[in-house]
Chains A and B, each alone.
Chain A
Amino acid sequence: MTRRRFGSKLFAVTTGIAAGGPLVVMLVLMGVLVRDAWPAWRFQGLSFFSGTVWNMGNMYANTPIVRAGVQGAPGASFGILPLVVGTLYSSLIALAVGVPIALLTAAALVYLAPKRVSMWLSPVIDLLAGIPSVVYGLWGVEVLAPFVQSRLGPWLSHVLRIAPFFHGPVGTGMGLLTSGLVLAVMIIPIVTATTRELLAQVPRLPYEGAQALGLTSYESVRYVAFPWVSSGVIGAVILGWGRALGETMAVLMVSGNAANYLPTNIYSPISTMASTVAALLDSALTDFTGLAVHALALIAVTLLAITMATNLLARSLVALGRRGLEAEGERR
């Protein structure tokens, strides 16, 4: 008996130690990143986020310059505004395109398609979530970019010719719009799956009651079912947003790799924060002062902070939504 109790205790303690694993990994990861990023922050300060030029400085100079006690190559200056803009814009396009499609798709799967059909279609859409991002990149390069270049781009530019950001030279299809569309396809399965599962859990009674009261089927979904699941859906949307913000390879393949300028229209080449870390880590490591690597670490810290913030936001929105629903229930 005592041995069993000891065994139980030991098991519980072992699981407890293992549970600390992810925490330790995260703390080490953040510790290393912040340590590496710190010199770049001291060197550059807030202009890191407002500057538009990423200049590692003259790496063939013989003597470094010193600012705020930090060494850098002469001329070094690190501004990531174009990357921030590229990241934000591409992820917002992904949301603007992906979320409505995902919500409509989920509604169609739950309410429109015959059960047997949706039983087959749902796993197929779930599969999208598992496709490696390089395969998305490949699809983007081979299919989407040429489509944007020759069809979608010229059409949009023509139809929306009064809208400044949509009108202009369409370029090669490598750029903001294609990046956003690839990201949209990547987040659609995330949002669709969650919404579909939540909608399926909505009690039939209020939904049918709404229709009995004379609401159309669309109105019952829109005004009864969706509010019921909104908090979970918002959580999934923000999760998808986080994924879009941090996506590296697919964007790297279709972004056009713009350097040091802001997108002038929606077809413009861009670069994102994640793709820049991937693309520039090698070159940064050739900076004899080490500052360029610190600057990349600062991008990584910023990315990490943004993804953590979106996560927190998603959680608090979900909690808020839940509280709201409960309050509503009490009022009734």
Chain B
Amino acid sequence: MNARAIRSKAAWSMAALALAVVMFAVIDILALVAGKGAAALNGSIFTTMTTGIAGGLQNAIYGTFALVGLGIVLSVPIGVLAGVYGALFAPDPVAKFFRFVAEVMAGVPSIVIGYFGYTMLVVAWGFGFSLLAGGISLAILMLPYIVRATESTIRQLPHGYMEGARALGITPADAFRTILWKPALPGVLTGVLLAISIGLGETAPLLYTAGWSNFDPNWQLTKNPIGYLTYVVWTYLNEPYSAAHRLAYAAALLLTALVLLLHVAAKGLQRSTPAQ
């Protein structure tokens, strides 16, 4: 074997090693969360509320759903419409500019949203720690992902659709309403699922907008703090009590399992996207 062949072999060994390292990290994280989380998980976690540093997670689970739900309700309509505009109606430079805005927005560190949320939503506009302040903060974080997913999905649709529509004298709007939306739907939904998984995992902005409550959400939009799962991971891990640690692991497991579920669902959707 000459030196070049040896170098090739060595490089591929490195690549295999890198792959192994990454897989090891994935498995180690999942095993830690699954192992310690499963030990802490029991039925009462879902049926009781947090009491101080122990108890269950019902309030955090409901709160997470409420916050992410509100974030989705606020961000999806705007995001999808904005994506449609970028793909179908916007002149090229405008579309490019909006894409840049969405990318910058996706890159805004979440704590910056937290700062904005606390000083503006919570204090200046008087929402207090609340579902509304938390939901809006999450919506801001989710919005760019939905815009991008929608726009790129529609752009990647086969050209035949649009050209056919144009040949028939159908406006882009009608083309979208009658034909295009259908093949675009799985792609858009994938974007929504991604946005949900981002919302699920956020901590920093919620600390300053949603606050925390030991009780189930009472469906007041303002002035009522609300619990969420990431808070439990962040705060209870810091407590020197084993009960608190168990709860933190249970919350981490729930979050990770939800994200996993969303990923599987997104993969399923992608498979159902028509071939291009």
A302→B22 CA distance, assembly (Å) = 32
Would you call B252 and A274 a contact (CB within 8 A)? Answer: no
Please classify the interface of chain A as helix (H, G, I), strand (E, B), loop, or mixed, using the class held by over half of its residues. Answer: helix
Q: B43 in the interface, Cβ–Cβ < 8 Å?
A: no
Interface residues in A138-156 by Cβ distance below 8 A to B read: 138-139, 141-143
Q: B44 in the interface, Cβ–Cβ < 8 Å?
A: no
Would you call A125 and B81 a contact (CB within 8 A)? Answer: no
Would you call B109 and A246 a contact (CB within 8 A)? Answer: yes
Q: Which residues of A contact B249 (CB under 8 A)?
A: 138
Would you call B252 and A12 a contact (CB within 8 A)? Answer: no
Q: Which residues of A contact B15 (CB under 8 A)?
A: 104-105, 107-108, 111-112
Would you call B85 and A143 a contact (CB within 8 A)? Answer: no
Q: B225 in the interface, Cβ–Cβ < 8 Å?
A: no
Q: Which residues of B contact A132 (CB under 8 A)?
A: 200-203, 230, 233, 252, 255-256, 259
Among A42-50, A78-86, A217-225, A320-328, the stretch that binds chain B is A217-225
Partner pick for B115 among A108, A124, A277, CB 8 A cutoff: A277
Would you call A14 and B201 a contact (CB within 8 A)? Answer: no
Taken residue by residue from 232 to 250, chain B's Cβ proximity to chain A (1 for < 8 Å, 0 otherwise) reads as 0110010000000000110
Q: Which residues of B contact A121 (CB under 8 A)?
A: 19, 23
- Minimum C-beta distance from A172 to chain B (A): 15
Among A66-74, A160-168, A307-315, the stretch that binds chain B is A307-315
Q: A200 in the interface, Cβ–Cβ < 8 Å?
A: no
Q: B4 in the interface, Cβ–Cβ < 8 Å?
A: yes
Q: A242 in the interface, Cβ–Cβ < 8 Å?
A: yes
A108-B19, A216-B5, A311-B107 known; A134 vs B233 contact (CB < 8 Å): yes
Q: Which residues of A contact B120 (CB under 8 A)?
A: 32
Please classify the interface of chain B as helix (H, G, I), strand (E, B), loop, or mixed, using the class held by over half of its residues. Answer: helix
A22-B147, A29-B116, A277-B111 known; A8 vs B263 contact (CB < 8 Å): no
Among B45-53, B98-106, B212-220, the stretch that binds chain A is B98-106
Would you call A8 and B115 a contact (CB within 8 A)? Answer: no
Would you call B259 and A134 a contact (CB within 8 A)? Answer: no
Nearest A residue to B255 by beta-carbon distance?
A132
Would you call A112 and B12 a contact (CB within 8 A)? Answer: yes
Would you call B200 and A19 a contact (CB within 8 A)? Answer: no
Q: How large is the interface on A (under 10, 10 to 19, 20 to 34, 35 or more residues)?
A: 35 or more
Q: Which residues of A contact B25 (CB under 8 A)?
A: 128, 185, 188
Q: B33 in the interface, Cβ–Cβ < 8 Å?
A: yes
Q: B187 in the interface, Cβ–Cβ < 8 Å?
A: no
Q: Which residues of A contact B234 (CB under 8 A)?
A: 134, 137, 249, 253
Would you call B107 and A216 a contact (CB within 8 A)? Answer: no
Binding site for B on A (CB under 8 A): 4-5, 7-9, 11-12, 14-23, 25-26, 29, 32-33, 36, 100-102, 104-105, 107-109, 111-113, 121, 123-128, 130-139, 141-143, 185, 188, 192, 216-219, 222, 239, 242-243, 245-249, 253, 274-275, 277-278, 281, 293, 296-297, 300, 303-304, 307-308, 310-311, 315
Taking A18-B82, A108-B18 as known contacts, 11 extra A-B pairs with beta carbons closer than 8 A to each other, sorted by chain A number, are: A8-B173, A15-B89, A33-B112, A102-B18, A108-B16, A112-B15, A121-B19, A138-B249, A218-B7, A277-B111, A278-B207
Pairs A–B under 8 Å by Cβ, sample size 20 = A14-B81, A15-B85, A19-B85, A21-B143, A26-B104, A29-B108, A105-B15, A105-B22, A108-B16, A124-B26, A128-B29, A132-B200, A132-B252, A143-B32, A218-B12, A249-B203, A253-B237, A274-B112, A307-B107, A307-B109
